[in-house]
């Protein structure tokens, strides 16, 4: 199949006068996992929420096409069919993403009711099936459990089951392991990867953790200050980064590239959206920056080169 | 918070506070008495006896091992007021389970063989028409005690709908609903109450009057509550599980009803308990002014009509007893509300 499952073109998101995401373009093919990486505040979460039309008070322009269908001009009813049915989301913090007053079973039945039209006994049966698929032991008994009776890892499994119960084509995972213990993180990542394969879904995996992204993603997109700076196959980008930002990011992770010597850090910090610099937004922190970087925005060419006036040589 | 945890915290708060236990006990007693009024009360609420106008509380005598009352007869004093004298030649026993009621005088035993007049049992005295105050108090409790519960239920429902929609959807929905709220909050409530009541006919059937009072009271009471619920829902709107439910395609109204509003119920329970006294007092105020429940129907407010002047209170002080019942009910609700708040919201601290 040639057409990608998800094609985002020139997506810009503004809150009032501040542009949080600037002309973002992404594609996700069927069965592919795209890792979206960046520091806090670079627009990762906002971009992923915009895929579900869940941004309040934001102006979203550009095009989001899912399976050939344009999403940006959908009616509220149309969005409800997409949410959970075609694109589902797993949230960051499993401690707060479940309603403390409802049982696990009720949460799952709600999704099955909305997207599969299942009710009562039948919905319960499917809910238990999904709990089993995400590796929760004794699923029938767990249906009666309240969120506070479960551990963080268990709750994240429940949230994954909820996201999958509508059998979506695309799963958006927004830092799904950040709030978990390291040992649990690995289990959840494997679970997500396995389920993605089994159900032949695509996945957008949003994270700031390069170690995690290496484990699950096929391709990688690096976001800085609301703009995409580099995109490519995971192995290539992580081994031979060509944008100075990606390079700096990798150099600052212990045991990633800097196996010897001191860890490097990128000088300065991510500017806030209201004071983003002109030209290349990374230039104040970049040691390769020249005059052109201050004035002209570098484009992201489609051939795998980074959005940079002075990219690092391949293989350098 | 889960249901069981709340219940056990409430039980704990009860054990800790004597006042909380006393107030809940008093409320239980008052409601039970009102519900069973038809059985506990020795007479019907409109059972009058002109020969006993303003008869004082009957003296209970212990004769032959059982409580008895003497029949009373009256003569007039120099200012033409009735003076009641006991006729000690006859004693009529107070019996249990008599005339289909819990206690009272046997209607045959009460009749005098000489003149055919009937003795009456007035534990709390009689009113101008010789009706038993205790019986009227018990029947009146049905109105006075239920009006708060029914009124609060209606106004809480309105507040949940209005506040929930305004807080959840924001924008123009929020702005227009909140302006309506402010209009209702702007008018001093008791005057609005009297105004609304005055526009309705006074000679309606008592059930219709009751219903219209409840509706008017809740129409005034919902606005403040709606604003608070709006605030609570607004802060819940960005809660992760609300966003998560929306991200799964659940209809916004279902999200509001199933995920957002139930989070406010703890607060609502406290608020309802604390606002019931306001309804009880408002009804009493209306009835006291003659705009509420009309004679011969009875409520604690219109029973108090008879003690509106100091001269009346001086001559028959027992007519103040409905005020005591009102005081007890209102105080108990306030104390119970405080206990509930301590139980549900441990952060409040004491």
Paired tokens of B51: 């020969």
All domains in chain A, ordered by first residue? 1-73+204-316 (3.40.50.300)
Nearest-10 Cα torsion for B119, B125, B128, B133: -100
pLDDT at res. A299: 83
pLDDT in tens, B278-336: 899 988 888 888 888 888 889 999 899 888 888 888 989 999 999 999 999 999 999 98
Please state, in angstroms and rounded to a whole number, the distance separating the CA atoms of residues B324 and B329.
Answer: 9
Contact B248, A110 (CB under 8 A): yes
Percent of chain B with pLDDT over 70: 95
pLDDT in tens, A94-124: 889 999 999 999 999 999 999 988 888 889 9
Closest partner residue to A83 (CB to CB) among B248, B258, B263 is: B248
CA distance B349 to chain A (A): 23
pLDDT at res. B198: 79
Contact A220, A233 (CB under 8 A): yes
- Residue count (chain B): 350
Q: Would the pLDDT of B195 be above 70?
A: yes
Of A143-147, B211-215, B274-278, the range with the lowest mean pLDDT is B211-215
Q: Which residues of B touch A51 (CB under 8 A)?
A: none
pLDDT at res. A6: 92
Mean pLDDT over B104-130 rounds to 88
Nearest-10 Cα torsion for A49, A50, A54, A58: 120
CB pairs below 8 Å between A and B: how many? 73
Q: Which residues of B touch A91 (CB under 8 A)?
A: 240, 243-244, 247
pLDDT at res. B5: 60
Q: Would the pLDDT of A57 be above 90?
A: no
Percent of chain A with pLDDT over 70: 96
- What ipTM score was computed for the predicted complex, to two decimals? 0.85
For B306-341, letters b (16+ CB in 10 Å) and e give: bbeeeebeeebebbebbbebbeebbebbebbbbbbb
Contact A58, A273 (CB under 8 A): no
Contact B244 A98 (CB under 8 A): yes
Higher pLDDT, B15 or B291: B291
Contact B248 A114 (CB under 8 A): yes
- Residue count (chain A): 316
Closest chain B residue by Cα to residue A48? B247
Q: Which residues of A touch B245 (CB under 8 A)?
A: 99, 110
pLDDT in tens, B79-91: 888 999 988 888 8
CA distance A313 to chain B (A): 42
- Residue B6: pLDDT band (50, 70, 90) is low
pLDDT at res. A268: 82
Closest partner residue to A115 (CB to CB) among B246, B249, B263 is: B249
Closest partner residue to B248 (CB to CB) among A88, A101, A146 is: A88
């Amino acid at each position: 199949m040639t057409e990608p499952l998800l094609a985002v073109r020139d997506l810009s998101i503004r809150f009032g006068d501040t542009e949080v995401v600037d002309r973002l373009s992404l594609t996700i093919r069927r069965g592919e996992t795209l890792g979206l990486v960046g520091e806090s505040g670079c627009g990762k979460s906002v971009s992923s929420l915009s895929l579900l039309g869940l941004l309040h008070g934001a102006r979203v322009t550009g095009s989001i096409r899912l399976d050939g269908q344009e999403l940006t001009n959908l009616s509220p009813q149309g969005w409800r069919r997409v949410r959970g049915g075609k694109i589902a989301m797993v949230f960051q913090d499993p401690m707060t993403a479940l309603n403390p007053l409802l049982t696990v079973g009720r949460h799952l039945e709600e999704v099955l009711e909305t997207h599969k039209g299942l009710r009562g006994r039948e919905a319960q049966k499917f809910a238990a099936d999904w709990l089993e698929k995400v590796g929760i032991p004794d699923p029938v008994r767990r249906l009666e459990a309240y969120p506070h009776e479960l551990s963080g890892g268990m709750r994240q499994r429940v949230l994954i089951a909820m996201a999958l119960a509508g059998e979506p084509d695309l799963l958006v995972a927004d830092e799904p392991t950040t709030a978990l213990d390291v040992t649990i993180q690995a289990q959840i990542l494997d679970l997500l990867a396995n389920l993605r394969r089994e159900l032949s879904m695509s996945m957008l995996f949003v994270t700031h953790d390069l170690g995690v992204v290496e484990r699950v993603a096929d391709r990688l997109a690096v976001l800085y200050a609301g703009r995409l700076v580099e995109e490519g196959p995971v192995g290539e980008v992580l081994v031979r980064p060509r944008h100075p930002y990606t390079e700096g990011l990798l150099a600052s992770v212990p045991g990633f590239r800097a196996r010897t010597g001191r860890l490097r850090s990128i000088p300065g910090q991510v500017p806030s959206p209201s004071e983003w610099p002109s030209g290349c937004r990374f230039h104040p922190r970049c040691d390769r920056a020249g005059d052109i970087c201050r004035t002209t925005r570098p484009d992201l060419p489609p051939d795998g080169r980074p959005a940079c006036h002075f990219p690092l040589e391949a293989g350098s | 918070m889960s249901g069981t945890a709340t219940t056990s915290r409430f039980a704990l708060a009860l054990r800790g506070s004597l006042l909380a236990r006393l107030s809940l006990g008093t409320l239980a007693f008052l409601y039970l008495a009102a519900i069973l009024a038809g059985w506990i009360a020795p007479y019907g609420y409109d059972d009058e006896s002109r020969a006993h106008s303003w008869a004082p509380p009957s003296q209970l005598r212990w004769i032959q091992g059982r409580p008895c009352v003497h029949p009373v007869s009256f003569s007039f004093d120099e200012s033409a007021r009735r003076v009641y004298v006991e006729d000690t030649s006859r004693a009529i026993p107070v019996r249990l389970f008599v005339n289909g009621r819990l206690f009272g005088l046997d209607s045959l035993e009460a009749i005098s063989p000489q003149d055919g007049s009937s003795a009456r049992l007035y534990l709390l005295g009689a009113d101008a028409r010789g009706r038993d105050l205790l019986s009227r108090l018990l029947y009146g409790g049905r109105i006075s005690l239920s009006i708060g519960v029914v009124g609060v239920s209606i106004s809480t429902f309105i507040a949940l709908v209005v506040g929930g929609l305004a807080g959840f959807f924001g924008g123009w929905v929020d702005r227009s609903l909140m302006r309506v709220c402010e209009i209702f909050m702007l008018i001093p409530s008791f005057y609005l109450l009297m105004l609304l009541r005055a526009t309705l006919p006074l000679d309606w059937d008592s059930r219709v009057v009751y219903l219209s009072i409840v509706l008017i009271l809740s129409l005034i009471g919902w606005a403040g509550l709606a604003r608070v619920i709006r605030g609570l829902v607004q802060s819940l709107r960005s809660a992760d599980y609300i966003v998560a439910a929306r991200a799964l395609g659940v209809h916004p109204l279902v999200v509001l009803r199933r995920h957002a509003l139930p989070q406010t119920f703890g607060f609502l329970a406290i608020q309802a308990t604390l606002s019931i006294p306001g309804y009880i007092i408002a009804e009493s105020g209306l009835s006291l002014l003659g705009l509420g429940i009309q004679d011969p129907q009875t409520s604690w407010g219109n029973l108090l009509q008879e003690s509106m002047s100091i001269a009346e209170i001086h001559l028959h002080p027992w007519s103040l007893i409905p005020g005591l019942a009102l005081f007890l009910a209102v105080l108990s609700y306030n104390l119970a509300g405080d206990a509930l708040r301590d139980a549900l919201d441990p952060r409040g601290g004491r």
